[in-house]
Amino acid sequence: MSAEPVEEFFDADTHVAPASFADLSPLLSPYWRDYARVAALRVDPVQAGAYPPAMVEGSAPHDVATLRAAVLDPPAPGGGRVATAVLTCTTAFDVSRNHAFEAALCRAVNTWTAQEFLDHEPRARGSIAVPLGDPAAAVAEIEHWADDARFVQVLLPVRGHDLRWGHPVFRPVLAAAAAAGLVVTMHAWGRVGSAPTTTGFTHTYLQDYLSHGQVAQSQLVSLVAEGALGALPGLRVTVAECGSSWLPPLLWRLDKEWRGIRREVPWVDRMPSQYVREQVRLTTAPIHLPRDPGELHAALDVLGAADLLLYAGDHPHRHGRGVDRLLDALDPAARAAIRHGNATAWYRGSDTAGYRSSDTVAPPAPSPASAQHAPEVPR
């Protein structure tokens, strides 16, 4: 009698991080290596200050063995298994404001991701870290890795600048990602020097932590209202680790106000919610759901969860039982879409379903780009 098939998961957000600057130093040019040493720059593999104490299960994986032991080989929710994991390295989000060093650091982070994980694990997919202070350098970094099919997205912090990502100054970055067939993922956290609310900085950690959903909403409104989604119909945007239950009221209000004020944004030529539902997806970690079963099903229905959500384990961060409750509330088709189907379609061609850890698989061919060191000092 054949065993029941194991449910496979496409994990759209798995954190990895260098254990220290020593992991990145060999990938920097001598100038930038010395710069980082003299400036006493550091990286935090735990990011403990960014999360409530009980929410972090130690450091993010810094090598492929740890990634396999923590994410790829253990059972996923309900006894399934992770067939594909998109690796998220947020190390470069707020290490330095020097835009030239930031470009070098992003090259080192991306090279480290390729050499440490992608060259050895066929189930892993990469995210391209890009410098925030120089859009031209960000475009160059995207183009540098564009031919490496193992990289499936460009990573932006949801909190990056006083300008939102929909502003025309960032249009070349979004256009480069779309042209390369890469998803743009706006991930929680970013530059602490950028005010997270429309009325300025927060004054408690509770406010700051809560602000990610608010910042994500402002980023989505910017992408619509400033014409980025309309100008780039091939652009796909994932909102990661910022929640999702806030989306329906945002779209209701956005559609309503657009009807009365659309003269100001003539490039938005259809309902704003249509752009978002076609070109934006959100991860399941964290997800905030009503406790009442009837209200829970109503919330998932009005969100359009079966179409918009991508499963994310978000290791090493804990977000309670929200994802388990979500999957338990869905019918089989919707559950399959969220745990695997939506992401497989979103990250085109990146699915590794059918892989088993016992399979004999040749290591992926290293990318020529990953053998190149970080940029020298700009002339």
Q: At what angle do helices 99-113 and 135-145 cross, to 10 degrees?
A: 20
Cα→Cα distances 81→76, 163, 337, 353, Å: 5, 40, 15, 10
| Helices and strands: H and E segment counts in the chain | 15, 8
pLDDT number for residue 316: 84
Positive or negative: CA dihedral 300, 126, 350, 191: positive
What is the chain's alpha carbon radius of gyration, rounded to the nearest angstrom? Answer: 20
Residue entry with tokens 């402002």: 218
Distance between the two ends of the chain, CA-based, in angstroms? 68
Q: What is the pLDDT of residue 255?
A: 97
Six token digits for residue 45: 């593999």
Strand, helix or coil at 97? coil
Q: Give the pLDDT confidence of 18-76 residue by residue, as tens digits.
A: 998 899 999 999 999 999 999 888 876 655 556 666 666 778 899 999 999 999 999 88
For residues 274 and 328, the answer to whether their CB atoms sit within 8 Å is: no
Counting Cβ atoms within 10 Å, is residue 233 exposed (0-12), middle (13-18) or buried (19+)?
exposed
Q: Where are the domains of the chain?
A: 9-350
Q: How far is CA 365 from CA 39, 117, 122, 183, in A?
A: 36, 12, 10, 22
**Which residues, in sequence order, are CB contacts of 169 under 8 Å at separation 6+?**
135, 163
So what's the pLDDT on residue 193? 61
What pLDDT is attached to residue 269? 95
- Give the pLDDT of residue 50: 62
Q: Which residues contact 204 (CB under 8 A, 6 or more apart)?
A: none
The dihedral sign for the CA sequence 76, 80, 81, 84: negative
Q: Report the candidate in 325, 352, 314 with the shortest Cα–Cα distance to residue 61.
A: 314
- Alpha carbon 194 to its chain centroid, in Å, reads 19
Strand ranges in the chain using DSSP code E only, listed in sequence order: 8-15, 81-88, 124-129, 151-159, 183-190, 237-240, 280-283, 309-310
Angle at 131 between CA 126 and CA 132, to 5 degrees: 120
Cβ(92)–Cβ(109) below 8 Å = yes
pLDDT at 363 (0 to 100): 45
Can you say whether the dihedral through the CA atoms of 236, 373, 95, 206 is positive or negative? positive
Q: Show the low-confidence residues of the chain (pLDDT under 70).
A: 1-5, 44-56, 191-196, 349-379
The CATH number of the domain covering residues in 9-350: 3.20.20.140
φ and ψ of 43, to 5 deg: -120, 150
Q: Which is nearest to 116 in space by CA: 66, 156, 45?
A: 66
Please give the model's pTM, rounded to 2 decimal places. 0.90
